[in-house]
Amino acid sequence: MEWSLPHRRYNPLTDEWLLVSPQRAARPWLGAVEKPTPEQRLAYDPNCYLCPGNHRANGAVNPPYESVFVFDNDFPALLSQSDPEPQSTSPLLVAAPEVGVCRVICFSPRHDLTLAQLSAAQICQVIEAWIAQCQELGAREDITYVQIFENKGEIMGCSNPHPHGQIWATRALPTEIIKETRNQVRYLNGELPTQHGRPANAPLLVDYLREELAAETRVVFENAHFVCLVPFWAVWPFETMILPRRHVRRLVDLTEAERSGLADALQRLTIRYDNLFEVSFPYSMGIHQAPYDGHAHDEWQLHLHFYPPLLRSATIKKFMVGYEMLAQPQRDLTPEQAAQRLRALSETRFAP
């Protein structure tokens, strides 16, 4: 069905709704215009805290690394210790100590190469580093969840243009993971409000991918092991999700062939993003996987979220304000339209 009038869409991963208003896509724009991120960067920047051999802000010196480089964040949001748990006399004033690990992962020694500009083999090296970090951190008794993410671009708050991501490993489950765990369990048990008490035969995202492959309208591309699509419930204009074809709970469970397939998917998607507005496309990307708490988590399916903010061009950004902050998310461009535009793009990166 092609929607042309306002409607709501349900997100079964979070048990939340969003408003879609296709008729607003043609409205004139007199709002904020962002400056494009400059494309020209040096292969090595002597003033960059992340380039090989350079001094970081805390005085540490980077080794002359030639591939992926991982180190403990010099300004971490989490520490190995916390304050004692406070005694609260009110159920409305509750706090709890939290400990964890924050690390930075440089994708390449090159200051000027993003994921879209790395080879599939180089992206495989990044994936192997992600997996090694999950194996190490996930085995620790004080860690329950390993969140891998990348903020790309100045308008996404990235403080250093050298292509890199982060890993935050926490003792407690983060809020989004709590929601996704709860609703994937509810789906298996037939407890989502849209299921009418019918238990599922497979995990939520396994069944969801089957529906998307049958519909085809929101699929951007696929390979032997992964599918990239615009979720039916996407909030951001060109939001996408990468899903494995088989049931995979965690990043560490990927086979060698699947790791290569994921590298291929990451390369093809990020090139498409750059080609959309012929700019190094900003986004926040995160890998969602089952907790590392010793339980099987049969309900979980590994997946990657890409949340890019650009709306109409390289200079117009989508903001979450007003109704979206106070009521519920809203979008104008339908997910089907976004998928069609991404699908039509070349997989050869534009020449600046």
Tokens of 305: 């979220």
Q: Find residue 71's DSSP bridge partners.
A: 104
**Which residues, at least 6 apart from 5, have a Cβ–Cβ distance to it below 8 Å?**
22, 23
Angle 308-309-311 from CA coordinates, rounded to 5°? 115
10 Å CB burial of residue 45 (0-12, 13-18, 19+) is middle
* Beta-strand pair 330-331/16-20: parallel
Neighbours of 346 (CB within 10 A): 9
Tokens of 268: 């093809």
Picking from 352, 346, 324, 342, the residue whose alpha carbon sits closest to that of residue 16 is 324
Is 297 a catalytic site residue? no
Write down the catalytic residue from 111, 162, 164, 303: 164
Give dist(CA 268, CA 265) in Å, integer.
5
Active site residues: 164
